Amino acid sequence: MPAASSFDVTTGVDLQEVDNAVNQAQKEIAQRYDFKGSKAAIEFNRVGGTLVLTADDDFRMRALFDVLQQKLIKRAVPVKNLTIGDVEPAGGDTVRREITLKTALDGETAKKVVAAIKDARMKKVQASIQGDQVRVTSPSRDELQEVIALLRARDFGVELKFGNYR
């Protein structure tokens, strides 16, 4: 009997690329005319995986978010992995928006991935949740390729990464 092949399904963002995108966005904001004299700022908490955007009003908040989003896309950071909070009033006539980065699969998304694999009814393909990742095993590498294609076709609300293919 052939040895079982496997791969892991995970998600996440490269924090260094997020940091680079934030720095580029801050440079652009400092040079743009519509942000001259405003209190627009982006704070990146690397440990907590959060971004805090601060602006004078809702219009500047949208412009600030657009600049940040463009820079994230250019740096190949999956925008699907951002949990975007609501615009809330902050002190000193400013508004604030908190953005949380999804750095791992949560339990609910992992269950959806496993359910999608089981609903496909592929022979000998098994999926198991191991912490913040899903391990998919099968004796057939072709079936594993089909599982990857199946998962890429579906939307789980996060950008899936496939690694550790053996």
Q: Could you tell me the domains of the chain?
A: 5-11+105-163 (3.30.70.860), 15-101 (3.30.70.990)
pLDDT band at 143 (very low <50, low <70, confident <90, very high): confident
Which residues have C-beta within 8 Å of that of residue 104, sequence separation ≥ 6?
10, 11, 12, 132, 133
| Contact indicator for 159, 152 with CB cutoff of 8 Å | no
Which residues have C-beta within 8 Å of that of residue 126, sequence separation ≥ 6?
136, 137, 138
The H or E element that residue 66 is part of is helix 58-74
Q: At what angle do helices 141-153 and 107-119 cross, to 10 degrees?
A: 120
Which residues have C-beta within 8 Å of that of residue 128, sequence separation ≥ 6?
114, 134, 135, 137
pLDDT digits (tens, 9 = 90+) for 67-121: 999 999 999 888 888 888 888 888 778 899 999 998 888 888 888 888 888 888 8
